[in-house]
Amino acid sequence: MTSAALKPGSVIGIFGGGQLGRMLAQAATQLGYKTHIYDVFANTPAGRVSEYHTAAQYDDLLAIENFAKACDVITYEFENIPSAAILEAGKHAPIFPSAKALEISHDRFTEKTFLRDQANVPVIDFFKIETMEELSHALSVFDGPCVLKTRRFGYDGKGQIKINNPKEIKSGFARLGGADLIAEKFAPFVREFSIIAARDQNGEIACYPITENVHKDHRLHTSVAPAPDPQNISEEAHAITHRILKAFEYVGVMGIEFFEMSDGRLIVNEIAPRVHNSGHWTQDAGCTDQFEQHIRALAGLPLGSPKPKHTVRMTNLIGDEIKQAGELAKQAQTFVHDYDKQDIRPGRKMGHVNEIIG
Amino acid sequence: MTSAALKPGSVIGIFGGGQLGRMLAQAATQLGYKTHIYDVFANTPAGRVSEYHTAAQYDDLLAIENFAKACDVITYEFENIPSAAILEAGKHAPIFPSAKALEISHDRFTEKTFLRDQANVPVIDFFKIETMEELSHALSVFDGPCVLKTRRFGYDGKGQIKINNPKEIKSGFARLGGADLIAEKFAPFVREFSIIAARDQNGEIACYPITENVHKDHRLHTSVAPAPDPQNISEEAHAITHRILKAFEYVGVMGIEFFEMSDGRLIVNEIAPRVHNSGHWTQDAGCTDQFEQHIRALAGLPLGSPKPKHTVRMTNLIGDEIKQAGELAKQAQTFVHDYDKQDIRPGRKMGHVNEIIG
């Protein structure tokens, strides 16, 4: 599929008015586009830097129709948008990434199945779990611990629990609500890393270098890129990334999380069909950043360079940590990004800081 | 003067809704601030990326009062704001750079006089011109050609004309309206360059490296920085810059244009009390960019690093050239900035492109 590039002045619709929507809007406006945010709240971080804003529920199909008719192309900042909303919007404007990518990634089971069977990439062994008997069966097949997860709406470590042995089946099953679950064999990885990549409307792919991620309290704490690569897994990770983007016929930026095993094997943990927290370092690395890259893909522009000029460490500023922003900003070559959220709340991502370290 | 830093979520007012206001707004929102644009037009490049917008004339003092009361600090994107507007706004919110800087730079004659007598920096010989006799006198003192300029409202080569000999006095005088003029001795410079610098509220100064500027049709065409420095004038240019900022007790970013002579002498051509077209390269150079630097200064934040990680060539996209943006953007490490102007007009600055060249 080859399309003409979206003309400057065109309107890019974004479902979701949070920090990812905000940074997408900022990138879009730098390229001369206008943005229209759709969010359930009227006053949002993204809406405050956008020309247009619709405040309505995701089941308000008339509002969605009006929103979509006012947009030249539509994207989203998070994957848990109801399918009905996407279907309605898609009647009136093109949506990237596609409804298919969104639909598949809604659900950990369909996502892992797709990755394994359609993209032919390595994922951890997994079973769909509806009953305690199925969980018991899974544990015996794995012959070791597993991670039990809700199939939908999990993020930042929410909706998952480690099951170490059969004794923990009952309580774990109960804690996650006991339905629509997935059991994944526990992977004793040596490192978590991610790849941010984009595919444009002509099928060209641009992959950023591997990003090493450190979590704290189940939330992303720091990302460093380009990350060291002692086991030389970079090429393989990029090959896997290409297979995934092609399998989806994907258009836009995707975040792919990997586990790296001690023997150099790679496992794809999960994907996010959108710009990704672990790609924020790209903003200050001397290459096209992930937000601009995403806008380029959906606007029908050629992708920019994903090759950073320097090494960057991104640190999330969570809750009160945003108060350090002024102090952090005193350091040379340290770049603060503040999301202008109304209230500081514990655990809330308030901003991030990118530091050039090499 | 030491002030507490402006809290994220505070409102920064900007007089002027063009591309400089737009890029200031984008930098402000990255730091978590909100922006309020004041412009005579309702639909402006800066207004479209700002939360608040006032559309009113510059002599509407009630509108200015209401605007200023809604802002925590105020700045401007161009220097030709009527003094009465600045005075009114200044009653209700701090304004950076100060009304004094604006007032002096309104007028080429007061500016040059201030630079020579208060800042003690080298300027070209000049005379205030009210009559043809004064122009005739100036020509004879210079013993060579001069450039005759209107004292106010000149930009991009408008409002100036070269007078080569006494025969051209009459026509030149008539063409510029014949009053409130300044005659400057013609300077046969080998190069034009500029320095972008910022001074914060504690008097700290951050100077970017020298930027070499090439004009086309009297408009800035390209800027390259850090520029080569075969005559080793960089240190002297920075010392001059420091003297100017201190003399003004300046807060914010200033653009200073220099002539470099064949013997290594420097002449300050003019100053702009605002972010400057020749500083756009800073956006993609791996240092704090001029827009963020300006916001930092007026928000009471410490200045960021002005030391670029790489060499950048900025090229203005004038009129139809904006149509090349998509093609230009295909090159690796080329960054397009489009101002989302409503209409393409010949001679209009529509955007610019920054290219990392070293």
In angstroms, the CA A328 to CA A334 distance is 7
Q: How many CB pairs under 8 A join A and B?
A: 120
pLDDT higher at A158 or B304: B304
Chain B residues lying within 8 Å of A312, measured CB to CB: none
Chain B residues lying within 8 Å of A322, measured CB to CB: 8, 32
Residue A210 — left, alpha, or beta (φ > 0 → left; ψ -120 to 50 → alpha)? Answer: beta
Chain A residues lying within 8 Å of B30, measured CB to CB: 26, 336-338
Contact A304 B351 (CB under 8 A): no
Asked if residue B280 has pLDDT above 50, the reply is: yes
> B207, B226 in Cβ contact below 8 A?
no
Where are the strands (E) in A228-294, listed by range? 252-260, 266-272
Residues 6+ apart with CB under 8 A from B117: none
Contact A286 B326 (CB under 8 A): no
In angstroms, the CA A154 to CA B13 distance is 41
pLDDT band at B175 (very low <50, low <70, confident <90, very high): confident
Cis peptide before A97 (omega within 30 of 0): yes
Question: How many degrees, rounded to 5, is the angle at CA A293 between CA B43 and CA A205?
Answer: 150
Contact A340 B288 (CB under 8 A): no
Give me the pLDDT at residue A261, please. 96
HSE-CB at A64 with a 13 A cutoff on CA atoms is 22
Per residue in A298-330, pLDDT (tens digit) is 999 989 989 998 999 999 999 999 988 878 877
Q: Helix or strand or coil: residue A172?
A: helix
Q: Is the dihedral of CA A92, A94, A100, A101 positive or negative?
A: negative
Q: Cα-flanking dihedrals φ and ψ of residue B221, to 5°?
A: -105, -60
Name residues 51-80 of chain A within 8 A of B (Cβ). 51
Cα R_g (chain A), whole angstroms: 20
In angstroms, the CA A337 to CA A213 distance is 19
Judged by average pLDDT, the poorest of A10-24, A123-137, A141-155 is A141-155
Name residues 7-26 of chain A within 8 A of B (Cβ). 8-9, 22, 25-26
Give me the pLDDT at residue B1, please. 40
Give me the pLDDT at residue B154, please. 67
Instruction: Report the residue from A51, A307, A340 with minimal CB separation from B8.
Output: A340
Judged by average pLDDT, the poorest of A30-34, A221-225, B79-83, B207-211 is B79-83
Asked if residue B17 has pLDDT above 80, the reply is: yes
Per residue in A244-297, pLDDT (tens digit) is 999 999 999 999 999 999 999 999 999 999 999 999 999 999 999 999 999 999
Q: Which two tokens stand for residue A233?
A: 């897994």
Give me the pLDDT at residue B157, please. 64
**Cα A192 versus chain centre, distance:** 15
Instruction: Report the residue from A33, A50, A332 with minimal CB separation from B307.
Output: A332
What is the pLDDT averaged over residues A16-43? 96
Instruction: Report the residue from B29, B287, B337 with minimal CB separation from A333.
Output: B287
Assess B202–A contact: CB distance below 8 Å, yes or no: no
Asked if residue B3 has pLDDT above 80, the reply is: no
| CB burial of residue A331 (10 Å; 0-12, 13-18, 19+) | middle
Instruction: Report the residue from B8, B22, B48 with minimal CB separation from A338.
Output: B8
Q: Spell out the alpha helix ranges (H) of A143-289.
A: 169-175, 234-247
- Residue A281 Cα, gap to closest chain B Cα (Å): 12
Residues 6+ apart with CB under 8 A from A93: A13, A68, A69, A71, A72, A73, A74
pTM (predicted TM-score): 0.89
Chain A residues lying within 8 Å of B340, measured CB to CB: 8-9, 29, 32-34
| CB burial of residue A134 (10 Å; 0-12, 13-18, 19+) | middle
Complex confidence, ipTM = 0.81
Cis peptide before A188 (omega within 30 of 0): no
Contact B33 A340 (CB under 8 A): yes
Question: Mind listing the domains of chain B with CATH numbers?
Answer: 11-95 (3.40.50.20), 125-185 (3.30.1490.20), 191-356 (3.30.470.20)
**Mean pLDDT for all residues in chain B:** 93
Asked if residue B2 has pLDDT above 90, the reply is: no
| CB burial of residue B357 (10 Å; 0-12, 13-18, 19+) | exposed
Contact B31 A336 (CB under 8 A): yes
- Residue B26 Cα, gap to closest chain A Cα (Å): 7
Contact B334 A302 (CB under 8 A): no
Q: Which residue of A has its CA nearest to B49?
A: A49
Chain A residues lying within 8 Å of B307, measured CB to CB: 332-333
Name residues 272-331 of chain A within 8 A of B (Cβ). 284, 286-288, 296, 301-302, 304-305, 307, 309-310, 322, 325-326, 329-330
Q: Which two tokens stand for residue B237?
A: 């240019």
Q: Look-up: residue for tokens 């774990």?
A: A172
What is the pLDDT averaged over residues A194-217? 96
Contact A286 B333 (CB under 8 A): yes
